[in-house]
Copies of this chain bind each other. A is one copy, B any other.
């Protein structure tokens, strides 16, 4: 079934303790698409500036990503983020954020995108998410991501959004911040009361937890032995999950469980390279092979 992502596309500058790279392909919608396209065609809606290189559009199209919803704004400049990871690779400092064309991103969905059945609203302004939802025509599943900044500054819009989505994807600390709870499970249950039928709490290297009214699923992260840099891990996790769901055409609990396992695996590859470089090197076969290893590590 059709899958839509609305989010950011960026050129990142990333510093790790051992390396620095400029003009790395980034942004939530881009990382999501690189991941989801292993499972399903993807329609991307985002905005870039005239510094966006056409070859990057071609590269995504060749992977099955419909780029007709990418607005290239004349005279504008693509969103740019610069970050530096600490020695532990967990903590990072944002050195610079240039929103550029993202500052007034007001997504207009192409007709095909309006009819998408699976929709992911990547981390972004809650009011923008709401305007996207107004354009949808009977989506089966709408999942949104959010972050601490919007919880702090746009709580009312976020609460309005929560009433209109099926699933929320959120970091551990953000779930606690949103609800005032100290435990991840209690926080997830409180979010369910605010609207969505499920919540996925992301805990980075400690995995993820899915909570609905009837089920709890627990996922460790796949243990990485070759961590290069983790930018985009959350979005590739979401992309693997949503891509698999779209490929199955359903979002019942058992299918979501499989989907989260796939998301976990794609994210584990993502962190093995800068930007999207690792996902460009692997195949669906590599993903399935690692999934089988993961199943052996986890199932008992």
Which A residues lie at the B interface, using CB under 8 A? Answer: 87-89, 182-186, 203, 206-207, 209, 215-220, 223-225, 227, 257-258, 260-261, 295-300
A298 touches B300 (CB 8 A): yes
Given A87-B182, A182-B88: A298 touches B297 (CB 8 Å cut-off): no
Chain B CB within 10 Å, residue with most, of A207, A209, A219, A223? A223
Given A203-B206, A206-B206: A184 touches B299 (CB 8 Å cut-off): no
B186 touches A225 (CB 8 A): yes
Looking at the complex, which one of B206, B218, B225 makes contact with A297 (CB distance below 8 Å)? Answer: B218
Minimum distance in angstroms from A103 CB to a CB of chain B:
37
Looking at the complex, which one of B209, B223, B258, B260 makes contact with A209 (CB distance below 8 Å)? Answer: B223
- For the A-B complex with A185-B224, A218-B220, A218-B297 known, give 20 more contacts whose Cβ atoms are closer than 8 Å: A87-B182, A88-B182, A89-B182, A183-B223, A183-B224, A184-B223, A185-B225, A186-B225, A206-B206, A207-B207, A209-B223, A216-B297, A217-B297, A217-B300, A219-B220, A257-B300, A258-B300, A298-B299, A298-B300, A299-B300
Chain B residues in 8 Å Cβ range of A227: 183
In the bound assembly, the distance between CA atoms of A295 and B260 in angstroms comes to 16
